[in-house]
A and B are shown apart, each in its own frame.
Chain A
Amino acid sequence: SNRDSSPPDNDLEHLSENICKSHMETCQYLREELQPSNWQTVLQTDLDTYQKKSQEDMWQLCAVKVTEAVQYVVEFAKRIDGFMELCQNDQIVLLKAGSLEVVFVRMCRAYNSQNNTVFFDSKYAGSEVFKALGCDDLISPVFEFAKSLTSLQLSEDEIGLFSAYVLMSADRSWLQEKTRVEKLQQKIKIALQNLLQKNQRDEGILFHLWILVIFTHLITVSQVKILLRTVLSALYPETVHTRFPPLYKELFGS
C-alpha cells in the first residue's frame, strides 16, 4: 500500500529467486517423484499392520518421518537470504514454531485429492493409517488442510514463497529482534504478492492463503497439545527417551 517504503524491485526479485531456488533444492522429493501413479496406495493388509501397531510404535514412526521432513525445512531456512543474519535465538524460535507448519504446507505436494491420501512411508496413505496414534482430532484437520491447499493448485514457486512467509512469522513468542523478522516477512509477503499478480491469480487467492496461515497455526497448537498429552508426558517416558529422534525432542519438547 505504501510504494515509498517498499524495497526496490531488484531486491524483491533477488529474494524471490533465492527463495524459489532454496525451496527446490530442499524440498525432499521432486514433484515428479511424488506422482501418485508411481506409488502404491496402502492396501488392506498394510492398513491392518499400521492399525495393529502400538500407539508408541506408531508415534515413533511418525516422529522419525516428521523429523526427516523438518531437517529439509531447516536447510530451506538456512538458504533464505537474511535468515542466517538473524540472531541465533530468533533462528531457533522461528524453526521451533514454524518448521512443522512448513512440513504441512509442503504436504500439499504429496497429497492425492482423488482419494484423500498423502505420501507416507513410501506409500499413499489415507487418514485411517494413522488410527493407532489415537488422535483423530489432529489427523482430520491435517488432511483438511492439505486438501484446501491442494485445491489452490499452487506452483512450486508459490509454495516456496508461501512456506518462507509462514516460517518468518514475526508474531512468534520469544523473538529478540522482532523488527528484523518483521522486515524480512514483509519483503517475502510483497514478493509473494508480486508473484501471484504475475501469475494472474485471482485476488481471492491471497485471502485464502492468509486464512490457511491462520489454520496452520491452529493445527500446530493442536499438535503441541496432543504431543504433550500423549507422548512427551509421563505416558511413555522410556520410549521418548530411547527411541525418539533427539531433534524431534528439541523441537517439540517445550
Chain B
Amino acid sequence: KEKHKILHRLLQNSSSPVDL
C-alpha cells in the first residue's frame, strides 16, 4: 500500500476532474 499511496488516495477520493 505504501508503494502506491497516491494511487490509493486517488482511488478512494470522490474527486472530479475539476479538482484535478
What is A's interface to B at a CB cutoff of 8 Å?
A: 25-26, 28, 68, 71-72, 74-75, 78, 84, 88, 91-92, 95-96, 246-247, 250-251
Which residue on B lies nearest to A74, using beta carbons? B10
Majority SS at the chain B contact face: helix
Measured CB to CB, the closest approach of chain A to B12, in angstroms, equals 9
Task: Using A68-B20, A74-B11, A251-B7 as known contacts, list a sample of 20 further A-B pairs with CB atoms less than 8 Å apart, ordered by residue number in A.
Answer: A25-B16, A25-B17, A26-B17, A71-B20, A72-B17, A72-B20, A75-B16, A78-B11, A84-B11, A88-B11, A92-B7, A96-B4, A246-B6, A247-B6, A247-B7, A247-B10, A250-B3, A250-B4, A250-B6, A250-B7
Give chain A residues whose Cβ lies under 8 Å from the Cβ of B7: 74, 92, 95-96, 247, 250-251
Chosen A-B contacts, 26 in total, with CB atoms closer than 8 Å, are: A25-B16, A25-B17, A26-B17, A71-B10, A71-B20, A72-B20, A74-B7, A74-B10, A75-B15, A75-B16, A75-B20, A78-B11, A84-B11, A88-B8, A88-B11, A91-B11, A92-B4, A92-B11, A246-B6, A247-B6, A247-B7, A247-B10, A250-B3, A250-B6, A250-B7, A251-B7
CB-CB nearest in chain B for A72: B17
Chain B residues proximal to chain A, CB less than 8 Å: 3-8, 10-11, 15-17, 20
Chain B residues with CB below 8 A from A25, complex form? 16-17
Pairs of residues from A and B, 9 with the lowest C-beta to C-beta distance, nearest first: A247-B6, A71-B20, A74-B10, A26-B17, A246-B6, A250-B4, A92-B4, A250-B6, A92-B7
Q: Which residue on chain B has the smallest CB distance to residue A77? A: B11
How many angstroms from the CA of A95 to the CA of B16 in the assembled complex? 17
Cβ of B3 to closest chain A Cβ, rounded Å: 7
Contacts of A28 on B, CB cut-off 8 Å? 17
Report Cα–Cα, A91/B17, bound state, in Å.
19
CA–CA, A187 and B15, complex, Å: 26
**B-side contacts of A91, CB under 8 Å:** 11
Kindly state the separation between the CA atoms of A96 and B4 in the bound complex, as whole angstroms: 10
A82 to chain B, nearest CB (A): 14
For residue A246, which residue of chain B has the nearest CB? B6
CA distance A21 to B4 in the complex (A): 28
CB neighbours of B10 from chain A (8 A): 71, 74, 247
Give the complex CA separation of A78 and B8 in angstroms: 12
Within the complex, the shortest CB–CB distance from A106 to chain B, in Å, comes to 13
> For the complex, what is the distance from the CA of A24 to the CA of B8, rounded to whole Å?
24
- Minimal beta-carbon separation of A2 from chain B (angstroms): 34
